[in-house]
Amino acid sequence: MKKVLVVLLAVAVLAAPSFAAEKKKDDGMAGKMGIGAGSNGLGVRYWLSDKMGIDGNLGFSFGDNTKLSIGGNLVSVLKEKKNLRFVWIAGLFLDTDSAEITAGAVTTKTTETDLNIAGGIGVEYSFDELPDLSFGAFLTGVGINICSVSNDTTFAGTTVSSSDSTTKFATTAGNLQLRYYLK
């Protein structure tokens, strides 16, 4: 019986460092997927490693104006302190906005399509009491905006169409996000 206990104790002592290493690995961000919502819509973030992640975002609204936004980001950690990660973000977004306005006998349909190639910086904070819940604030949208606008105006059965395209350097105000990590 003593030999069995000694063998079990020896196995436990030899295996303890590997269990500790596995525990430490689970404390990092690698492999974690978070779902959330923010001022730019619904999103999913997946951490490929402790320092690199990818985002997918979907924003929409319906009513007088129909808006749809879809995009993705590459996220990289610049600096990390306990529960706070300072990150840079680079991404690509496609936004469409369409509206139809009728005033008397005149109907105007407007469609605007924006392609944004942008980057920015941000922070993500994970709460001590709820470590799977995080809050992020990001300054994004410093980049290039390619915009196309088309108008169709109909009056008395006759439609007049016009369109315009622009490419410009653009900035946007950033966004706030609340995210819950599943793993």
pLDDT band at residue 27 using 50, 70 and 90 as cut-offs: low
Name the percent of the chain lying above pLDDT 90. Answer: 52
Instruction: Summarize pLDDT for 100-117 with one digit per residue, the tens.
Output: 888 888 999 999 999 988
CA dist., res. 98 & res. 110, Å (int)? 6
Predicted pLDDT at 170: 81
Domain coordinates in residue numbering, the chain:
29-181
Exposure class string for 74-105: b at 16+ Cβ within 10 A, else e:
ebebeeeeeeebebbbebebebebeeeeeeee
Predicted pLDDT at 175: 82
| CATH superfamily, domain at 29-181 | outer membrane protein from Thermus thermophilus HB27. (2.40.160.70)
What pTM, to 2 d.p., does this model score? 0.74
